[in-house]
Structure 1
Amino acid sequence: MADRYGNDVLAGDWRKPKNGRTVEVALEKGMVVEEPTSGFVGAVVRWEHGVVDLEDRHGKIRTYPMGPGFWVDGKPVSLVAPKKAGPAKKTTTASGSVAVDGVRARVARASRIYVEGRHDAELVERVWGDDLRIEGVVVEYLEGIDDLPAIVNRFQPGPGRRLGVLVDHLVDGSKESKIAAQVNNRHVLVVGHPFIDIWEAVKPSSVGIAEWPKIPYGEDWKKGVLKTFGWPATDQADVAAAWKHILSKVKSFADLDPALLGRVEELIDFVTMD
C-alpha cells in the first residue's frame, strides 16, 4: 500500500529555510547584492571598517554594515571582507637555488670557506647565506692573505676537512697569485676573482653608477672610490657607510658579476664534496 504521506516529516533538515541557510561570501567589487528589507539592489563599490557601499543602476549609493542579512543570486548570505593574502613563499634563494621549506640548518661541517675581509664575508652571506646554512658551511674572513700558507697549515686540511679560499685580485703576476701558488694541498682549493676589491664585484648598474672608477696604484682603493663619487671619505666610518649602501643594493646573484658567482659556487661545491 502506498504511503499517502511520504517519508517521515521529521527526517532530514526540516527546519532548513526554503531559500537555504546563510553562508559567508567574501566581498568582491562589482558583486550584485540585495538588501531584502529595503529591496535595495546594488553592486559592491567599496568596503572598509566593517561597512560596505552598494551602488544601484541609477548611481545611488547606500552603506550597510557587513555581516548577515543580504541576498546574492537569491540566496541568503553574510558579507565578509576577503582575507588578505599572506606573503608569497620564496621559491628561490638569493643565489638562484631552489628554496627548501622546513629544513633546519645543518650542523657546521669541519670544512670551511675563507675570504679576505669582512665585506667579502658579508657579500657571500647576502647572496649564498641560505645555501650555506643548509649545507652546514661556515664562512670566515682573514683580513688579508699575506700569511695564507701558514693559515692553511694551521687549519690542517684533510679528508672531510676541506678548505676553500676566495682571493681578491687573483690575476697573473699579482702579489695574490704568487701567494696562492705556495699552497699545494689536494684538500685545499684557492680561487679568486679579478677585482681589486670585492666592491667591484657588484654590478655598477645595481649601485646606480656608470662604472667603477680606476684608482691610481698606491692610493687606498676604497677611499679613492668615495672621493671620485663625491662621497665622504674621511675615515673608516665613511667607508663602512658606503659599503652598507652598496650592500643594500644587492638583492640576488643577478646583482653580481659572473666572475665572482662562478668562483663562490665552485668553492661551495668543493667543501661540500663527500
Structure 2
Amino acid sequence: MEERRRAQYREIPKRPAETGLVVEDTASGWVGAVLGVEAAGGMHVVRLEDRHGRTRSFPLGHGFLCEGEPVELIAPTPGAGTTRSGTAQSGTARSGTARSGTARSGTARRRTASGSLAVDGARARTARASRIWVEGLHDAELIEKVWGEDLSLEGVVVEPLHGADDLTGALAEFEPSAQRRVGVLLDHLVPGSKESQIAEAAMRSPGARGNVLILGHPYVDVWQAVRPERLGLQAWPQVPRGTDIKVGTLQALGWPHRTRADIAQGWRRILGSVRSYADLEASLLGRVEELIDFVTAG
C-alpha cells in the first residue's frame, strides 16, 4: 500500500512555488497567491495571501491544487523570476495565474490591473496571428479592462463572437494552425450545457487539435464573474429560467431594465466597479490566464 501511495505521488507534477502563483490547499480550501517560501519549525513552508489580504502558511509539498489540478509545490530556484518563460520580459512579468501583493525586491514595482509586474515605457507588440475569442462585447470589455495592458504588450487581440452558436463555422473560416492559435472563452461551460456541446463539436474541426483551446466559466453571463461585493451585494440575484439574464438581473437589483440603453447603462455601472483582477471570481481569472498562455506559447 505504501509503495502504491509513493507511486501516486510520483505522478503528481512538481510546481515551483514562485511568487504570485495562485494555489489551493486541499485540506482547508484556502486559496491564495504565493508570497514566498521560508523555513519554519525544521521544515519549509509556503506563505499564501488570499484576496482579502489575509495570510497563512502551509508545509511545502503535496496537498495543493493549481488551476484545478493536483501539484506538489517545491521551492523555487534561487533567483528565478515570475515570468511566463522564466526569463525577463519587456512589458510585464507574469506568473501564469492571478497575482497578489507587490514586488518584494526592495523597491515596489507597479502592477497592471491583472496583477502582473509592469515595466513602464515598454512598447506594444505587433498583433499576433493568434486570437482570443469571447462570446460577446461585455466579455471583451471586461477582459480588456483587467488584462488590456498585458494583452497589448503580448500582441494578443480579443474578439467577440457575438454568440457561440457558429463557433465551428468561425474556426473553419479562421483555419487554425500552429502559427494561428485560437483560445475561446465560453459562458456557462458546464457538463451537459449547450455550450459544452458546442465546444465538443468545435474541437472536431479540422486543425483544432493542439491549435484550439476552449475554456469557460460556470456563469450564465460574464456579469456574474464580477464579485458581487463590488456592487454591495452578498450574491448575484437568481434569475428565473426563461428570463433574459441581463434583464432579470437589472430588474432584481431595481435598476432600469426595459431597453437596450438600460442594459448598456447597467453594464457600465458593473464594469465601472471593477478595478483589478481582485474584483473578479477566480473561476474566470484562471481561465483567461490559461488562454493568454496558450495563444502566446512559442
- TM-score class, shorter: 0.5 to 0.7
**Residue 193 of structure 1 aligns to which amino acid in structure 2?**
H
Name the counterpart of 1:42: none
- Aligned pairs (5 A) from 1:174-213: 174-184=193-203, 185=208, 186-213=210-237
SS in 2 for 1:224: helix
Deviation digits for residues 47-79 of structure 1 (CA, Å, limit 9, x no counterpart): xxxxxxxxxxxxxxxxxxxxxxxxxxxxxxxxx
Corresponding position of 1:119: 138
- Measured in 1, the distance between the counterparts of 2:201 and 2:109 equals 43
Other-structure match for 2:252 = 228
Structure 1 stretches of 4+ moved >6 Å: none
CA pair 105-253 structure 1, distance change in 2 beyond 3 A: same
2:80 corresponding residue in structure 1: none
Counterpart residue number, 1:164: 183
Post-superposition offset of 1:233: 1.0
Instruction: Encode CA deviations 1:24-50: one digit per residue, 9 max, x unaligned.
Output: xxxxxxxxxxxxxxxxxxxxxxxxxxx
Counterpart-to-counterpart distance in 2, 1:252 and 1:90:
16
Q: 2:160 maps to what in 1?
A: 141
Report the 3-state secondary structure (helix = DSSP H, G, I; strand = E; otherwise coil) of the residue aligned with 2:230.
Answer: helix
Calculate the TM-score normalised by the size of structure 1. 0.67
2:192 aligns with one of 173, 198, 208: 173
CA distance in 2, matches of 1:259, 1:173: 18
Tell me the distance in 1 between the aligned counterparts of 2:126 and 2:232.
Answer: 39
Q: Deviations over 1:84-122 (max 9, x none)?
A: xxxxx9700000000111111000000000000000000
Report the count of equivalent residues. 186
Q: Distance in 2 between matches of 1:233 and 1:130?
A: 32
Deviations 1:134-168 (A, max 9, x none): 00000000110000111111111101110000000
Where does the alignment leave 5 or more consecutive residues of structure 1 unmatched?
Answer: 1-88
Residue aligning to 1:217: 241
Q: Take 2:136 and 2:202, find their aligned partners in 1: how far apart are those partners?
A: 19
Gaps of 5+ in 2: 1-107
The farther-off stretch of 123-132 and 206-215 is 206-215
Q: Which residue does the alignment assign to 1:130? A: 149
Q: Could you tell me how far apart the structure 2 residues matched to 1:229 and 1:133 are?
A: 35
Q: 1:259 aligns with which of 242, 263, 283?
A: 283
Match of 2:126 among 86, 107, 110: 107
- Counterpart of 2:292 (choices 263, 268, 274) is 268
Sequence identity (%): 58
- Please name the residue that 2:97 is paired with: none
Q: Which amino acid aligns with 1:240?
A: A
Larger radius of gyration: 1
Q: How many angstroms apart in 2 are the aligned matches of 1:216 and 1:270?
A: 36
Task: Identify the residue that residue 117 of structure 2 maps to in structure 1.
Answer: 98
